[in-house]
Chains A and B, each alone.
Chain A
């Protein structure tokens, strides 16, 4: 089962290594990882999507909490969260195909970020499954390159994770 875990950490050198090392040595699987600074520049937020049963999730949360630089840890159920990933896809695109691809971009609310004689680079920010569909739509044209970020997540409604 997939779990989205939000971790607030001290924004210090070595913190990410400690967290990724913990996952590696205790054999927890990371599906996705994203790190960025929060409104407080001394605090970073790490979002990890991890795979495992409830027992493993409980251990992950407890072990993360033991790391000295970890200020707060929480896991969320899917319906509590608004999640986003960002993807950049460079697709083969002959001048004749441009109109088609532009219309796909329009329908999916992707942005045309770059264009060349025979390629087009589309940018989409959405939740994971939407991005998968987007990728499938573009595959027939020949995908040259995909760059995708890890999932970031924020609670729906007025609740927020702060220190």
Chain B
């Protein structure tokens, strides 16, 4: 069979049901085979969004999401989403067409060195020159993307190679001598962790995105309840523990809540669990002097990179937690929990809003009442993200955002991917008007493919977080007004999507009810005051 056919057969063998992509000449042989394969292709409206959709899909399935683009500009447009997935350790396999192999390096039409350009942002990449290697390459790509610390893998296939003949033989297993991630925690180190937990009066666990990647949510819950250890999250870790759990104290870091940062500042043992301690989270650790820190992560390079640790443990979080649960003793930590609860329950100001605008925090709290138990919330980047993370209440639900790269325009395509992965769950994208204008072409994708996602756009006619930042640091705001922007209700209407606008807190409930009751895509634009800050 042809390599193009073999590529499709490999995807089938890998169990791929959906791919997100955008065709072009150099990837046409693959597309021609895809059409009759039974794999559903979702046509995005910009290549970057095929990567974000694959990311949303991957995060909900735990398997690599697949995105496809053509050579040159198509492939280059993918890079931002590949980099976004890389920062957040999301497994995706990106397939790109390339110009004919005998033309590579001659600057022909739509030629770009995509493996070279994407190199800093991929876990690994392949350019397929030998048709006989295709099955092996695809098997390895999925294996590398999904194992160890997950991440994006790129496969670039020249058009002439796609048309060459090869034998289809999909390998059962992979053996890469230079790639053997450590998954079992070192026994001696685990003993040290268990001893430290036993010794500590004020322990706290900071659970990051690694808990999802390892599928260790249940083990986390079990461990913290056995020892009554308070849990806080990084942004990437949000919803890996039930937010209504009495042991949960919110998100830490620069944009986090007081109770979480208080817990870090006053604990006598900090356990970092699958959290790479990015600079936005690490602010919470400033001022810690002698507090022992345990860092558990599958990637040894993350341990000691941003935070000096007392006890490093390398391995798969699920395995490590399972081992820990069996050796730790039950504890109460009543005093410590009382101390934290006092901070958590301290009355907070709920700022009112000006006439004609809503308080976005109150809107999100209203939304909480209508969330299905296992709802998927996808947040964009900016003020909307901070409002969302500090007010959303997910019990069995899932929170998604582009935490590491902070890529605007992530929410809508990622929500499309998430909904394709779990069509029975409620999927809601929340974004600002800045991010909306980077992604609203994808409304067409939702309509064309009948993907029932809900969209909430906070409209303050301004790049709110940049404004806030500029005003604090430069005492004035520059280039943040979004004058000239459209009505998002009208935009949605133009795509045939039902939409409405809310301008007062009192209208929120009805609008949310209309939205959740609809079985089609639905958009609410929420008018927010321009001066609304992202601080709680």
Take A17-B116, A21-B120, A25-B120 as given contacts and tell me if A68 and B300 are in contact as well, using a CB distance cutoff of 8 Å.
Answer: no
CB under 8 Å from chain A, chain B span 504-525: none
Query: Please, what's the 1-or-0 string for B138-153, where 1 marks a CB less than 8 Å from any CB in chain A?
Result: 0000001000000000
In the complex formed, the residue of A with least CB distance to B176 is A68
Beyond A10-B178, A163-B177, whether A66 also contacts B119 by CB under 8 A is no
B 266-323 contacts with A by CB, 8 A: 299-301, 304-305
B202 at the A/B interface (Cβ < 8 Å)? no
Distance (whole angstroms) from the CB of A16 to the closest CB of chain B = 12
A62 CB → nearest B CB, Å: 4
In chain A, positions 56-85 with a C-beta closer than 8 Å to chain B are 58-59, 62-63, 65-66, 68-71
Q: Interface size of A by Cβ–Cβ distance < 8 Å?
A: 19
A70-B178 in contact (CB<8A): yes
| Inter-chain contact A63/B301, CB cutoff 8 Å | yes
Assuming A10-B178, A59-B305, A71-B178, is B123 touching A65 (CB within 8 A)? no
Chain B residues with CB under 8 Å of A68's CB are: 123-124, 144, 176, 178-179
- Say yes or no: B301 contacts A66, CB within 8 Å: yes
B115 at the interface (CB under 8 A from A): yes
Q: Contacts A65-B300, A66-B299, A66-B301 hold; do A18 and B119 have CB atoms under 8 A apart?
A: yes
A157 CB–B CB distance under 8 Å: no
Contact of A14 with B144 in the complex, beta carbons under 8 Å:
no
CB neighbours (8 Å) of B127 from chain A are: 14
B291 to chain A, nearest CB (A): 20
Taking the nearest CB of chain A, how far is it from the CB of B125, in angstroms? 8
Shortest CB-to-CB span from B27 to chain A, Å, is 21
Are B119 and A62 interface neighbours, CB within 8 A? no
Output the nearest chain B residue to A26 by Cβ-Cβ distance: B120
Cβ proximity bits B43-74 to A, threshold 8 Å, 1 near / 0 not: 00000000000000000000000000000000
Enumerate chain B residues within 8 angstroms of A59, measured Cβ to Cβ: 301, 305
Digitize A3-27: 1 where CB-to-B-CB distance is under 8 Å, 0 elsewhere.
0000001100010011001000100
Query: What's the nearest-Cβ distance from chain B to residue A163, in Å?
Result: 7
CA distance A17 to B127 in the complex (A): 14
CB-CB under 8 A from A71, the residues of chain B are 177-178
Best-surrounded residue of A10, A66, A71 (most CB of chain B within 10 A): A66
- List residues 79-120 of chain B with CB under 8 A from any CB of chain A: 115-116, 119-120
Q: How far is the CA of A103 from the CA of B177 in the complex (A)?
A: 51
Which B residues, 328 to 350, have Cβ-Cβ distances below 8 Å to chain A? none
Given A10-B178, A68-B124, A71-B178, A62:B116 Cβ within 8 A: no
Q: Is A62's CB under 8 angstroms from B301's CB?
A: yes
- Interface positions, chain A 61-120, Cβ under 8 Å from B, are 62-63, 65-66, 68-71
Asked if A14 meets B115 with Cβ closer than 8 Å, knowing A68-B144, A69-B178, the reply is yes
CB-contacts of A1-58 with B (<8 A): 9-10, 14, 17-18, 21, 25, 55, 58
Would you give the shortest CB distance from B235 to chain A, in whole angstroms? 23
Q: How far is the CB of A24 from chain B (nearest CB, A)?
A: 9
Cβ distance A13 to chain B, nearest Cβ, rounded Å: 8
How many angstroms between the C-alpha atoms of A58 and B123 in the bound complex? 20
Please measure, in the bound complex, the distance between the C-alpha atom of A84 and the C-alpha atom of B179, giving whole angstroms.
31
Q: Name the CB-closest residue of A to B121.
A: A25
B180 to chain A, nearest CB (A): 10
Q: How far in angstroms is the closest Cβ of chain A from B284? A: 21
Least CB separation from B301: chain A residue: A62
In Å, the complex CA distance between A71 and B178 comes to: 4
Distance, CA A59 to CA B299, complexed state (A): 12
Inter-chain contact A17/B119, CB cutoff 8 Å:
yes
Contact B119 A21 (CB under 8 A): yes
Point out which of B116, B176, B178 has the most chain A C-beta atoms below 10 A from its C-beta: B178
Q: How close is A46's CB to chain B, nearest CB, in angstroms?
A: 13
CA distance A17 to B115 in the complex (A): 11
B144: nearest chain-A partner, CB-CB: A68
Please, what's the 1-or-0 string for B171-197, where 1 marks a CB less than 8 Å from any CB in chain A? 000001111000000000000000000
Which B residues lie within 8 Å of A62 (CB)?
A: 300-301
* Nearest chain A residue, comparing its CB with the CB of B124: A68
* Bound complex: CA A117 to CA B300 (Å): 60
Shortest B301–chain A CB gap in Å is 4
B439 to chain A, nearest CB (A): 28
B43 shortest CB reach to chain A, Å? 31
Q: How far is the CA of A105 from the CA of B301 in the complex (A)?
A: 48
Complexed CA–CA distance, A71 and B127 (Å): 20
The complex places the Cα of A143 from the Cα of B390 at a distance, in Å, of 68
How far is it, in angstroms, between the C-alpha of A18 and the C-alpha of B301 when the chains are bound? 17
Please list the 5 inter-chain residue pairs (A to B) with the smallest Cβ-Cβ separation, ordered nearest first: A62-B301, A71-B178, A68-B124, A25-B120, A68-B179
14 contacts between A and B (CB under 8 A): A9-B178, A10-B178, A17-B116, A21-B119, A59-B301, A62-B301, A63-B301, A65-B301, A66-B299, A66-B301, A68-B124, A68-B178, A68-B179, A71-B177
> With A10-B178, A63-B301, A68-B179 given, can you name 15 additional A-B contacts, CB distance below 8 Å?
A9-B178, A14-B115, A14-B127, A18-B119, A25-B120, A58-B304, A62-B301, A66-B301, A68-B123, A68-B144, A68-B176, A68-B178, A70-B178, A71-B177, A71-B178
- Which residues of A line the B interface, CB within 8 A? 9-10, 14, 17-18, 21, 25, 55, 58-59, 62-63, 65-66, 68-71, 163
